[in-house]
Amino acid sequence: MQIGADTQHLFENKRIFVVENDEINSMGLQFMLADENETHVMSGISAAMDKARDWPPHLVLLGMGLVRSEGISSISLIKAAMNNVRILLVCDSANDDTVQAALSQGAHGTLLTPLRIETVRRKVDSALGRAVPLNIPVVRN
């Protein structure tokens, strides 16, 4: 099912790894991104690094639960194993100390929950280097 999919993106082969131990977030992200991207869901960092040997991703969406359990050093491990891949952190708040530490270790940005399809696609497109149209709200009097 394609919901608001941009046909221009349907012919690109951008591989995204959703590395998240929260099943609701991981399935939601897969649903939101599968129409325009090759999206793979993994529940662990080691599984993602194993798969990346044969199928390197263009982007990793990394759940903060895994960063907390595996440690902040997992950011540099992922980047080394996946050819300096771009990483977006799936988190509740960008102001969290652990999120800030992960950003200082080389993560490229955040994807805040609750997840909304237009926000997720816009952030992912931007992280993948795709043109993102401006979204200027119109205020009517």
Q: Which tens digits make up the pLDDT trace of 10-34?
A: 456 799 999 999 999 999 999 999 9
- List the one residue out of 98, 41, 37 whose CA is nearest residue 64: 98
pLDDT tens column, 114-140? 999 999 999 999 999 998 766 666 777
- Walk me through the domains of the chain, giving residue ranges and CATH numbers: 9-127 (3.40.50.2300)
Quick one: average pLDDT of 42-60? 96
- Burial (CB < 10 A; 0-12, 13-18, 19+), residue 41, is buried
3-state secondary structure of 94: coil
Predicted pLDDT of residue 132 = 73
Predicted pLDDT of residue 134 = 67
